[in-house]
Amino acid sequence: MSQEDVKILAELKKDLEEKIMKMEKELTLLKTSLKLVDEALAKVSFKPASKIIEEPEEKISEEAFEEVFQIKSKSGEDLGNIYIGKNMIKIVPRQDLGLTVKTSPFQSFFIERVLEKMKKKDEEEVARKKKNPEEVIDYTVETDGDLIKEIIIKNVSDETRIREIRSVVRWTFERMLEKTSKST
């Protein structure tokens, strides 16, 4: 191999290393951008972007549910309705109450400490082969801006869980209403 060939190969190696570094830097930037988009979507929809794109938006009518319960505060105020069907719960807050996903304790308590805890427990049962993956609790929060339109919880058939969700929703909506009425 001539001295000229060695020089060309050395330059080629240098160019390739520079391109690799540039591409690695671009990949890091893309990953950071994706993470930021995921975080922004999580704040709005409580659902990963991949699921939003994959799943066609399905509106489930109230007729699909077998039971309807009014959500009443302790003082008797109507807070919305809970529709219970086969393996599914639909929660619709009264729209004029102005309950938003940002109002405490919706995210910190209802989503994170109740629904996510149920989901984690189901996933642990899947890992122990006591439950099928398609039986893991799943939920979506439909919003109009920050305003909660409805909450759909799938794979809920256990009566204990249904009672717990009904109770927790009432308590959560009452606390949220207290916070919104204090701020106005």
Q: Which residues contact 49 (CB under 8 A, 6 or more apart)?
A: 37, 38, 41
pLDDT at residue 141, as a whole number: 92
Tokens linked to 175: 């606390």
Res. 153: pLDDT tops 90:
yes
Residue 131 confidence class, pLDDT cut points 50, 70, 90: confident
Annotate 113-134 with DSSP letters as a single string.
IIIHHHHHHHHHHHHTTSS-GG
Domain boundaries, given as residue ranges, for the chain: 3-54, 62-183
pLDDT tens-digit profile of 20-79?
999 999 988 888 888 888 777 766 655 555 555 555 545 555 556 678 899 988 888 899
Beta partners for residue 100, in sequence order: 147
Q: What is the arithmetic mean of pLDDT over 85-112? A: 91
pLDDT in tens, 161-171: 999 999 999 99
- Check residue 17 and give its pLDDT: 94
Among 4, 180, 161, smallest CA distance to 84 is for 161
Average pLDDT, the chain: 85
Percent of the chain surpassing pLDDT 70: 85
Instruction: Indicate whether this model's pTM tops 0.95.
Output: no
Beta strands in 6-146 (DSSP E): 67-72, 78-85, 88-93, 138-144
